[in-house]
Amino acid sequence: MTRADAEAGTDDIPLAKPVIGEAEERAVLEVLRSGRLSLGPRVPAFEEAFARRVGARHACAVSSGTTGLHLALRAVGVGAGDEVVTSPLSFVASANAPLFERARPVFADIDPVTLCLDPDAAAAAIGGRTAALLPVHIFGYPADVAALERHGLPIVEDACEALGACHADGTPVGGRGHPAVFGFYANKQITTGEGGMVTLGSAEHKVRIDSERNQGRAPDMGWLDHDRLGFNHRLSDIACALGLAQLERLDDMLAARARVAGWYREALAGLVVERALVLPCPDANGDRRGWFVFVVQLPADADRDATVVGLRELGVQSKPYLPAIHLMSFYRERFGHRPGEFPVCERVAAASLALPFFPQMSEAQVARVAEALGRVIAA
Ligand X SMILES: Cc1ncc(COP(=O)(O)O)c(C=O)c1O
CA gap 116, 212 in Å, rounded: 30
CA 38 to chain centre: 25
Shortest approach of ligand X to residue 116 CB, angstroms?
11
Q: Does 211 bind ligand X (CB under 6 A)?
A: no
Q: Does 64 bind ligand X (CB under 6 A)?
A: yes
Of 275 and 319, nearer to ligand X (C-beta) is 319
Of 13 and 138, nearer to ligand X (C-beta) is 138
Shortest approach of ligand X to residue 374 CB, angstroms?
28
Shortest approach of ligand X to residue 181 CB, angstroms?
7
Of 236 and 365, nearer to ligand X (C-beta) is 236
Query: Binding pattern to ligand X, positions 134-173, x when CB under 6 A?
Result: --x---------------------x-xx------------
CA-closest candidate to residue 315, choices 4, 104, 90: 4
Q: Does 323 bind ligand X (CB under 6 A)?
A: no
CA-closest candidate to residue 262, choices 366, 161, 352: 366
Q: Does 235 bind ligand X (CB under 6 A)?
A: no
Q: Does 114 bind ligand X (CB under 6 A)?
A: no
| Burial of 285 per CB tally in 10 Å (0-12, 13-18, 19+) | exposed
Q: Does 318 bind ligand X (CB under 6 A)?
A: no
Of 141 and 185, nearer to ligand X (C-beta) is 185
Q: Are 148 and 170 in contact (CB under 8 A)?
A: no
Of 66 and 214, nearer to ligand X (C-beta) is 66
Segment interacting with ligand X, rule: CB under 6 A, options 86-94, 107-115, 262-270, 325-333: 86-94
Among 86, 90, 211, 318, binds ligand X (CB under 6 A): 90
Among 13, 47, 58, 65, binds ligand X (CB under 6 A): 65
Q: Does 291 bind ligand X (CB under 6 A)?
A: no
Rg (CA), the chain: 21
Start-to-end Cα distance in the chain: 18
Q: Which of residues 10-39 bind ligand X (CB under 6 A)?
A: none
Query: Binding pattern to ligand X, positions 168-207, x when CB under 6 A?
Result: ---------------x-x----------x-----------
Query: Binding pattern to ligand X, positions 295-314, x when CB under 6 A?
Result: --------------------
CA-closest candidate to residue 68, choices 35, 100, 106, 104: 100
CA-closest candidate to residue 297, choices 316, 263, 315, 320: 320
Strands (E), 50-156: 58-62, 83-86, 104-107, 130-134
How many chain residues touch ligand X (CB under 6 A)?
14
Catalytic (active site) residue 206: no
Q: Are 196 and 65 in contact (CB under 8 A)?
A: yes
CA gap 255, 258 in Å, rounded: 5
Among 50, 66, 198, 230, binds ligand X (CB under 6 A): 66
Stretch (H or E) spanning 196: strand 196-200
CA-closest candidate to residue 293, choices 251, 258, 267, 324: 258
CA-closest candidate to residue 145, choices 112, 126, 117, 121: 117
Binding site for ligand X (CB under 6 A): 64-66, 90-91, 93-94, 136, 158, 160-161, 183, 185, 196
Q: Annotated active-site positions, please?
A: 188
